[in-house]
Structure 1
Amino acid sequence: MTAADVAVYVLIGLLGSFCSGLLGVGGAIVTYPLLYFVPPLFGAYAMSPNEISSVTMFQVFASSGIGMLMYRKSPWLNRRVVLCIGGGMTGGSLIGSLLSGFMPGMVIHTLYGCMALLAVFLMLKKRRGELESQEPPQQLVFNRGLAVGISAAVGLLSGIVGAGGSFLLIPIMLGILKLPTRTAIASSLIVVFLSSIGGVIGKAAGGHVHVGLTALLVIVSIAGSTIGARLGQRVNVGVLRLVLVGIILISALNIWGGLIYDWIEA
């Protein structure tokens, strides 16, 4: 690769990992569409959906790990949420990442688009009659069985597309499990880190790993996610939620625009 190619991928990695730390997501929701659409625009090396899903999974592992360290002492972190959802996500992610090696790139791409649209719907769903407290709840009540089941399904899909799954998991934690926004963000980074361990193992076993670009994005993600996590703990909850919805919506539109174009050309 040329120096220009490296510069393009460095910028993509910084943006994705910054969003990871800021919003408590793995970063793949931003990085995946950028890796798919941006490099060809600048004449840089273009990866296949299978390669992209592997690269983003490794980046998610690194960026969520850094974000987890930044949030580990947060009063909003809930260990019961982490244990219930983290267990389901890790198992599902391992299975999904192994299955992805046998799937065509178009299937992975389409699954990603469907997950993004579902996330937008869940995030826009109103939580009536509820005003979030600015203080951590003394006792958090949620359906543990539902949490494990949903997280396993999300982990399976996340493992296939190479995402940490938090861009779908956080809306579920907010809209279905009714968790506070800051609790969802703080807990999700640890959950995503746990699930990405299974995903990384599966991707490495299944192949399609571009070692050079993977190493580059992992290194870059350390800086981006650190800055994002520090800023995220100071930003208003409502702003965080709006930014997350906007990013997911833009990504979904980009993905579906590309899919529709490919279908027409075919």
Structure 2
Amino acid sequence: MASFSMLSTLLLIGVSGAFLSGLLGLGGAIILVPMLLYVPPLIGVGALDMKEVAGITIIVVFASSLAGLSVQNKNRLVLKNLVVLMGVCAVFAAFFGAVYSKHTSSKVLLVIFACMAAFAAVVMVLPKKESDEDIVLEEIKFSKPKAALISSGIGFIGGMVGAPGAYIFTPLMIYFLKIPTKVAIGSTLGIAFVASISGAVGKLITGQVPYIMTAAVVIGAVPAARFGARFTKKIPAAVLRKALAVVIAFAAIRMWMDVTNY
């Protein structure tokens, strides 16, 4: 049974992690995993192993991405046909990536994902002219073959390393599909939600979710994700891109540290 101190810590982790996830259009795993692994032992309230963290994270990503998505949809920042296309492609590709990963070493998988994170961080700081005026979704055009190719590639590699890579979707949508930053952020939450469904179901039916600790994180994460999503429309697109670049850069640095210490 988790202590009150541990549950309180998990609640606060849920709040802080999901706020950033809702604001920046992240699935949440890239923020929640290191926080769940390192914060509790750092402040002396206990520790979680990676299996527990994985079980908690997939449920929280499912719940918080849905909460943030509902707000972004009301703000008209979700391109639904893009979400369906990229989400479905990513889910199917992730399955094949997971199967193929059996024949690939863990270190190679980690290097691949670390390279993707580093690339995404660099891309996000490239200059891009963009208006912060209201966006008309019906006027946004994108290449469906490119969208399918991008989501299949990320999904395949994400399936190999066991992470959806939602934070990589946003920069690729912005710079390669020419999707406005705020719509890319809102749509990424939709893709993260679709991609997390099968993982959440799998973890639940196989008993890999610590219910009480997960509930503590979800209770903090759901309202925080909605709150963060409300600010997306108010903050300039350039600021959002820089903030996302910082988050992705930290993720890339942490992954490369794992690679060198492997």
Check the 8 A contact 2:132/2:237 in 1, yes or no. Answer: no
Check the 8 A contact 2:93/2:159 in 1, yes or no. Answer: yes
Separation in 2, partners of 1:234, 1:176: 24
Residue 234 of structure 2 aligns to a residue whose secondary structure is coil
2:226 maps to what in 1?
Answer: 226
Q: CA RMSD in A?
A: 3.0
1:54 maps to what in 2?
Answer: 55
Moved more, 134-143 or 152-161: 152-161
Deviation of 1:93 after TM superposition, in Å, equals 4.3
Check the 8 A contact 1:93/1:196 in 2, yes or no. Answer: no
2:193 maps to what in 1?
Answer: 193
Normalising by structure 2, report the TM-score: 0.84
Residue 187 of structure 2 aligns to a residue whose secondary structure is helix
Check the 8 A contact 2:125/2:242 in 1, yes or no. Answer: no
Deviation of 1:217 after TM superposition, in Å, equals 1.6
- TM-aligned CA distance change 1:90 to 1:17, over 3 Å: same
1:89 maps to what in 2?
Answer: 90
Deviation of 1:96 after TM superposition, in Å, equals 5.7
Separation in 2, partners of 1:51, 1:103: 24
1:116 maps to what in 2?
Answer: 117
1:64 maps to what in 2?
Answer: 65
Check the 8 A contact 1:25/1:188 in 2, yes or no. Answer: yes
Check the 8 A contact 2:87/2:194 in 1, yes or no. Answer: yes
Moved more, 63-72 or 40-49: 40-49
**1:1-40 correspondence runs (5 A):** 1-40=2-41
Q: Does structure 1 residue 76 correspond to structure 2 residue 70?
A: no
Q: Which runs of 5+ in 2 are unaligned?
A: none
Residue 77 of structure 1 aligns to a residue whose secondary structure is coil
Number of residue pairs matched? 260
Separation in 2, partners of 1:208, 1:121: 36
Q: Give the percent of matched residue pairs that are identical in Structure 1 and Structure 2.
A: 32
Q: Does structure 1 residue 150 correspond to structure 2 residue 156?
A: no
Moved more, 114-123 or 223-232: 114-123
**CA deviation string 1:68-122 (max 9, x = no partner):** 1112233333222122112112333456678889999878766654443232133
- TM-aligned CA distance change 1:96 to 1:217, over 3 Å: farther
Check the 8 A contact 2:122/2:245 in 1, yes or no. Answer: no
1:139 maps to what in 2?
Answer: 139
Residue 5 of structure 1 aligns to a residue whose secondary structure is helix
Deviation of 1:63 after TM superposition, in Å, equals 0.4
Q: Does structure 1 residue 178 correspond to structure 2 residue 178?
A: yes
**CA deviation string 1:22-68 (max 9, x = no partner):** 11111222111212222222234333334323321111100000011
2:250 maps to what in 1?
Answer: 250
